[in-house]
Amino acid sequence: MADAIIRWSTDNWQTNNDTCTRNTKLDIYVADLSFSEDVREIKFTFFWKVANRWENKDFIVSLENSSR
């Protein structure tokens, strides 16, 4: 994985957030996304910094509240 900006949304792209990845020093980049507990789906894509390009694909993660 390479250094990137994650553009993500919890409301089907009505609004969006940008979160930069960080290097773990193991050549693995990670990012922490903060959102409310009632979120059920996150859509996201990547901007690859070194390549200076967008992924041009959306990814979706569905969330489930385990305390129910």
Model confidence pLDDT, tens digit, residues 9-64: 999 999 999 999 999 999 899 999 998 889 999 999 999 999 999 999 999 999 98
**Domain tally, the chain:** 1
Residue found by looking up tokens 């693995």 in the block: 28
68 inside domain: no
**What's the whole-model pTM score?**
0.87
Provide the token pair at 52.
Answer: 């200076």
Q: Give dist(CA 21, CA 59) in Å, integer.
A: 16
Give the pLDDT score at 8.
Answer: 97
Residue 22: give the domain boundaries: 4-62
13 inside domain: yes
26 inside domain: yes
Give the pLDDT score at 2.
Answer: 84
19 inside domain: yes
67 inside domain: no
